Amino acid sequence: MIFTDINRAINLLLNKEVVALPTETVYGLAGLGYDEQAVQHIYALKNRPQHNPLILHYACLEDTRTDVVWTPWAQHLAAACWPGPLTLVLSLTPTSRIPLAATGGLNSAAIRVPSHPMIQNILRALPGPLAAPSANLSGQLSPTTAAHVAKDLDVPILDGGPCVYGLESTILDGRTWPINILRPGALSVEDISTLLLGFQEPSVSDYAPGKGDAITTNPAPDIKVLCPGQLLAHYAPKKPLRLNATHIKDGEGLLAFGPPLLGANVCVQLSLEGNTTQAAANLFAALHQLDQSACQTIAVMPIPQTGLGCAINDRLLRACAAFAPATCSV
């Protein structure tokens, strides 16, 4: 059931039901974040392993304070970026109301303030945050339209149009400095650096001891994926992918970036002018489209590691690893 009335979504959520909602990144499968039953329902619908925690979505930064402990740089970055495609992992406060089921039993939570006007208005009408993973079956492609959600899940879906970014939010560990990127996403490393320009680096003693182990000094070329539940094989289309293709083999469809290679019977373009932001917005829709086309396998043209290229390549490597881990390097 696809609809566009946000009041209907609000009533369903208040009744502890689970609803697919648009965000600026991808569609989320949302339920009341403080309600254990709604949270369990999300896991069951997605067939998601219990150890893979959810992101909590809030109306604004102020609303998060009773649940998580802020560090100075994380607060600086969130204030500059929210509402927007940034998720921060922060320690829980002793008074946090987030159920253990939503955090996978960890003493931290992943939180964000989304900017899509529909989810913003819904969050403002609710008494607390919404827990929402991407609205796909576990391990499948993320949905960037209401129709993508409907292919995977039989749930009420609020249609807010195609997602502007088309890639999940960037997840940072907000507890440690220097910054550790847990999942590259719609906020690029360059954007993060710009937003933190002029921020005074805090002294190490501001942070809990023992956190240093997982710190990378320069997250750009050496991104460590540390999210629990973020397995290498993820984000998979139903057809095998071949990355960095410079020619087309028999039976292959083409995922093009820039002027396309010749010879493919199906070609879906990410960005003719080679723009990684445009390519990110088209990525999941393009993979959904190639999945439904006549090709047997998918050849992917090289995509640079600049801007959102880093997050796009992360998703493509995971999609590739789902079929042939040995041929993919990370």
Q: Which residues bind Mg ion (CB under 5 A)?
A: 134
Sole binder of ligand TXA in the list 22, 31, 33, 53 (CB under 6 A):
53
Site for ligand TXA, residues 244 to 273, rule: CB under 6 A: none
Residue 223 identity (one-letter amino acid): I
Sole binder of ligand TXA in the list 64, 96, 103, 313 (CB under 6 A):
103
Minimum Å distance from CB 205 to ligand TXA? Answer: 23
Sole binder of ligand TXA in the list 106, 137, 147, 150 (CB under 6 A):
106
Sole binder of ligand TXA in the list 35, 152, 159, 168 (CB under 6 A):
168
Site for ligand TXA, residues 174 to 193, rule: CB under 6 A: 182
User: Do 22 and 9 form a contact (C-beta atoms < 8 A)?
Assistant: no
How many binding residues for ligand TXA (CB under 6 A)? 26
Sole binder of ligand TXA in the list 28, 84, 143, 219 (CB under 6 A):
28
Minimum Å distance from CB 110 to Mg ion? Answer: 12
Residue 144 in contact with ligand TXA, rule: CB under 6 A? no
Residue 215 in contact with ligand TXA, rule: CB under 6 A? no
Sole binder of ligand TXA in the list 71, 96, 120, 134 (CB under 6 A):
134
Residue 54 in contact with ligand TXA, rule: CB under 6 A? yes
SS3 sequence of the chain: CEECCHHHHHHHHHCCCCEEECCCCCCEEEEECCCHHHHHHHHHHHCCCCCCCCEEECCCHHHHCCCECCCHHHHHHHHHHCCCCEEEEEEECCCCCCCHHHHCCCCEEEEECCCCHHHHHHHHHCCCCEECCECCCCCECCCCCHHHHHHHCCCCEECCCCCCCCCCCEEEECCCCCCEEEECCCCCHHHHHHHCCCCCCCCHHHCCCCCHHHCCCCCCCCCCCCCCCCCCCCCECCCCEECCCCCCCCCEEEEECCCCCCCCCCEEECCCCCCHHHHHHHHHHHHHHHHHCCCCEEEECCCCCCCCHHHHHHHHHHHHHCCCHHHCCC
Residue 230 in contact with ligand TXA, rule: CB under 6 A? yes
Residue 169 in contact with ligand TXA, rule: CB under 6 A? yes
Query: Quick one: which of 154, 160, 156 has its CA closest to 119?
Result: 160
Comparison of 137 and 220: residue with beta carbon closer to ligand TXA: 137
Residue 132 in contact with ligand TXA, rule: CB under 6 A? yes
Minimum Å distance from CB 310 to ligand TXA? Answer: 16
Comparison of 6 and 102: residue with beta carbon closer to Mg ion: 102
- The option from ligand TXA, Mg ion, none interacting with 137 (CB < 5 to 8 A, set by class) reads none
Q: Which residues bind ligand TXA (CB under 6 A)?
A: 23, 25-26, 28, 52-55, 87, 89, 103, 106, 108-110, 132-134, 168-169, 171, 182, 227-230
